[in-house]
Amino acid sequence: MVKYCLGAAKITLCRQPAGGVSEIFFIFYTINNIKLRLKMVVTKNGLMEHDTRKEMEQEVAVCRALFEKKTRDYGTSWRILRLPSLTDQIFIKANRIRSIQESGENRVGDDIRDEFVAMVNYAVMALIQGERSKAEGESLELPLEETMTLYDEQVKRILDLMMDKNHDYGEAWRQMRVSSMVDLILMKLLRIKQIEDNEGKTLVSEGVEGGYMDIVNYSLFCLVRLTEENTIS
């Protein structure tokens, strides 16, 4: 058992022989007082097998916990925001990450992980807004339990989509740089902004909903990659 302390994350690495051709590594890490477990299987030829759904759910747990705490503090005041406002909030977060990556300087000092978490939550808010705004006359304030149920429903849809795409693309994202995925998030945002400026009219695009779902998945991919990089280092 080996223990690491990297910034706000406390990580413990445990190695367990699995018999046959594999060994299992359990990585226990704590971020913002949330305890998570990541399981990786490494074969004798050096290939690493991942439990992708589990890894994504671990990162979602961090995002969800923060979302719930803020909902307890502020209620659902974010529901006053129109979709373009939420899009712009995500754009600000993604643009800050890219600026830090390009300059190599982080003057504010906030961990970029926090920005990816924020993008996940803002995009989920946008998906909820896209559905709930259709209900005319509904109060902006929603009960906590209902809000978290809506959050969980959206996340399940997003993770199901991720697993389907992962099957088809063979987890190609694991070979991508975090900076490249940030660029893809910005590209999705520019497309969403264009659709919004066109009042939602598209010719061949899947629309803003698909864009928000992709932003959540790319943000979660980045969080998984950052966790892996911190663990290895």
Q: What is the pLDDT of residues 120-139, one digit of tens each?
A: 999 999 999 998 865 656 78
The chain-wide mean pLDDT, for the chain, equals 82
With cut-offs at 50, 70 and 90, classify the pLDDT of residue 6. Answer: very low
Q: Are residues 205 and 124 in the same domain?
A: yes
List the single range of 71-80, 156-165, 193-202 with lowest mean pLDDT. Answer: 193-202
| Mean pLDDT value across residues 192-217 | 84
| Mean pLDDT value across residues 11-15 | 55
- Residue where a domain stops, chosen among 50, 71, 88: 50
The 8 Å CB, 24+ separation contacts for 163-170 are 163/52, 163/53, 165/217, 166/52
| Mean pLDDT value across residues 88-117 | 93
| 33: helix, strand or coil | coil
- Which positions ≥6 away from 160 have C-beta within 8 Å? none
Q: Are residues 3 and 57 in the same domain?
A: no
Q: What is the pLDDT of residue 50?
A: 73
The answer, yes or no, to whether residue 150 has pLDDT greater than 60, is yes
What is the distance between the alpha carbons of residues 12 and 82, in angstroms, rounded to a whole number? 42
Q: What is the pLDDT of residue 97?
A: 96
Q: Are residues 44 and 61 in the same domain?
A: no
Q: Are residues 110 and 19 in the same domain?
A: no
Q: Are residues 134 and 194 in the same domain?
A: yes
Contact indicator for 127, 212 with CB cutoff of 8 Å: yes
**In the chain, how many domains are there?**
2
The residue count of the chain comes to: 233
With cut-offs at 50, 70 and 90, classify the pLDDT of residue 70. Answer: very high
Q: Are residues 36 and 59 in the same domain?
A: no
Look up the domain containing 134 and give its range. 51-232
Compute the C-alpha angle 192/195/197, nearest 5°. Answer: 110
- Residue where a domain stops, chosen among 34, 50, 66: 50
Q: Pick the residue with more confidence: 171 or 103?
A: 103
Q: What is the pLDDT of residue 28?
A: 54
Q: What is the pLDDT of residue 132?
A: 80
Q: Are residues 15 and 123 in the same domain?
A: no
Strand (E) or helix (H) holding 117:
helix 112-132
Q: Are residues 21 and 55 in the same domain?
A: no
| Mean pLDDT value across residues 145-152 | 97
Q: What is the pLDDT of residue 2?
A: 47
| Mean pLDDT value across residues 87-107 | 94
Q: Are residues 64 and 146 in the same domain?
A: yes
With cut-offs at 50, 70 and 90, classify the pLDDT of residue 41. Answer: very low
Q: Are residues 69 and 103 in the same domain?
A: yes
Q: Which residue has the tokens 């299987």?
A: 41
Q: What is the pLDDT of residue 49?
A: 59
Q: Are residues 76 and 154 in the same domain?
A: yes
Q: Are residues 56 and 38 in the same domain?
A: no
